[in-house]
Amino acid sequence: MKEKGPSLMQMIRAPFLSSIIAPLTAGTLLCVKINGSISIPGFILVLITGIGLHVATNVYNDIYDTVQGTDKVNVQRNEFSGGSGVLQEYPLLMGKMYSVARISLVIALLSTAGLMFFIDKSLWIYLWGLYLVSAFFSKYYTAAPFKLAYRGMGEVSILLSFGPMAIFMAAISQNISFNDQVFMLMPLSGLSTLSILLVGQMIDIDADREGGKHGIASRLGTVLTSYLYIFTQLGIIGGVLCLYLFFPGNTWPLLLSLIPYAIFFLAVGMAIVKYHNNMEELKQVAKKTVQIHMLFSLLLIAGLIIYLII
């Protein structure tokens, strides 16, 4: 019998698309609170754009980490770090993976063009600027000649893409440009996604160094990266407290997003420092980090919905 290949969902790493869906949804909800209304076409189109760009990022990441040899030497791959590993097991899918990435960028391009019909012309320059920068990040996060993740710039692109850029794109889709509340929301989702990347880099450190992928963990080592992970998570907590203190109205629902930190953060923070060079233990930290990220994202959205209603 012919061996069954990976599904499209595996190829695009579908579960991780929540990292872009969450900030686009949160940003839209905040803008509904500010505007007092919602543009449904704007929300749908910005979701299509964001998902298309994220799919391209995931697939290009697997392609170029395979081409450049990093995935080949990674013996620590797991469901939370090291990519999908699809091309290691099915190298003949390379052409299909390229097609998926390119089609995803085209879909994002078309939905971005569609957004032009639902926003003010003054916002078009920001809309296209965000698309072009996001498309650049999606390919050149790992691809030559820029290879951002290989040169210590991958963390910056992740922080920007899933934080400020995603929130600003959502705001533009609702005809809002620069707004103090939007600015305060911007860092949270980027920091949350960055926390996943940091613990993943700690697990993949040997493969990254051998493959020349010099991110924060590869450059600083696991001890300093473990403390940076803690500061990143503390930054999220501080950011939520700022929303609670400085947003107008009844802001208590926004504190719901801190529930996963109250439950998990102390134990996870102690574990990442204690087991900074123990890859099997770090895989458990990575699992908990993803759980914190997912719960935080869901509860932030729930909190914004309640904040919107009351």
Rounded Cα distance, 305 and 302, in Å: 5
Compute the C-alpha angle 27/154/218, nearest 5°: 135
Looking at residue 250, the DSSP 8-state letter turns out to be -
Per the CB < 8 A criterion, the answer to whether 41 and 118 are in contact is yes
pLDDT score of 211: 83
Per the CB < 8 A criterion, the answer to whether 204 and 76 are in contact is yes
Distances, alpha carbon 215 to alpha carbons 20, 54, 172, 292, in Å: 22, 20, 31, 23
Rounded Cα distance, 64 and 71, in Å: 9
Q: What is the pTM of this model?
A: 0.94
Rounded Cα distance, 101 and 110, in Å: 15
Rounded Cα distance, 122 and 127, in Å: 10
Q: Where are the domains of the chain?
A: 8-309
Q: How many CB atoms are closer than 10 A to CB 244?
A: 16
Query: Which residues, other chains included, contact 47 with Cβ-Cβ below 8 Å and sequence gap of 6+?
Result: 21, 24, 25
pLDDT score of 6: 85
Q: Which residues of the chain have pLDDT under 50?
A: 1-2
Rounded Cα distance, 147 and 67, in Å: 12
pLDDT score of 1: 38
pLDDT score of 161: 97
78 phi, psi to nearest 5 deg: -150, -175
112 phi, psi to nearest 5 deg: -65, -45
Looking at residue 148, the DSSP 8-state letter turns out to be G
Burial class (CB in 10 A: 0-12, 13-18, 19+), 71: buried
pLDDT score of 77: 65
Of residues 28, 35, 70, the one with CA closest to residue 49: 28
Tokens for 73, please give them: 């030497």
Rounded Cα distance, 142 and 71, in Å: 12
Of residues 160, 185, 167, 177, the one with CA closest to residue 25: 167
Of residues 175, 289, 277, 299, the one with CA closest to residue 232: 289
